Structure 1
Amino acid sequence: MGKAELRSFGKPDEVREFPKGRLEVVKIGGATVGRAIFEPGWRWATSVQPIAQTKSCEAPHFQYHVAGVLKVVMDGGAVLECHPGDVSLLPSGHDAWVVGDEVAIVVDFQGMVDYAKAH
């Protein structure tokens, strides 16, 4: 049997800041989990793209939406609007932005290992 572990976003292993947002990362059980906080006006193309230096977000995401609304447009044209309580699975190749005046918070279980890190 493995050992039980407990981690908290109140004491993350790493914090990555970018314009109009930040990512808090915890490592647990060999996995990396991220809590992203996106302020009103945040958009991947203007806040993270200059760091990633890719055409669109290449990180795949499997995430739970805690607060706020995110609009996601896939490179292929599909559009999703993610609300609190939603779970989204996003493959590589998308842009996203906060809709409205509320902070958007997501907990991501897949795509935050290199998110918002300079390459």
Structure 2
Amino acid sequence: MTTQRQQTVEHRGFDAPDEIREFDHGRAEVLNMADGAIGRLVLHPGWQWSRDVKPLVGTEWCEAPHFQYHVSGKLRVRMADGDEFDVGPGSISSLPQGHDAWVVGDEDVVLVDWYGATDYAKRT
């Protein structure tokens, strides 16, 4: 006998997130669905993780791993090992724990994160 698992259709948008975590120069909007969390980060010019989020979470580096799609804006990432690179619109990045990042230029950075949203920017 084969047991078939019931699948549930979910249809949501970031216009009604389950949670909004605000911090200086930006916010994280979180949708809880499909047994996980999906986040949209909106980062304004002047945002830098080590200035705007680090004080909230109390770690030396961002400890949230990310798997994200970059919708708009340019982000510079510096890994704990010193590797530094830029990501922009249309890019997909997979970042392990241990990084800093900041907005480059005068355009908002918008990213959709499928992996790091669960605990991102939660106050300690």
TM over 0.5: yes
Q: Name the counterpart of 1:73.
A: 78
Q: TM-score, normalised by structure 2?
A: 0.94
Q: TM-score, normalised by structure 1?
A: 0.98
1:95 pairs with 2:100: yes
What's the Cα RMSD here?
0.6
1:104 pairs with 2:109: yes
For the pair shown, which has the larger CA radius of gyration, 1 or 2?
Answer: 2
Q: What percentage of aligned pairs have identical amino acids?
A: 50
Q: Write the mapping of 1:7-18 to structure 2, written as runs, cut at 5 A.
A: 7-18=12-23
Q: Name the counterpart of 2:3.
A: none
Instruction: Measure the CA separation in 1 of the matches of 2:25 and 2:79.
Output: 21
How many residue pairs were aligned?
A: 119
Q: How big is the shift at 1:78?
A: 1.3
1:22 pairs with 2:37: no
Cα distance per residue 1:40-79 (max 9 Å; x no partner): 0000000000001000100000000000000000001111
- Structure 1: 5+ residue stretches without partners: none
Partner amino acid, structure 2, of 1:68? G
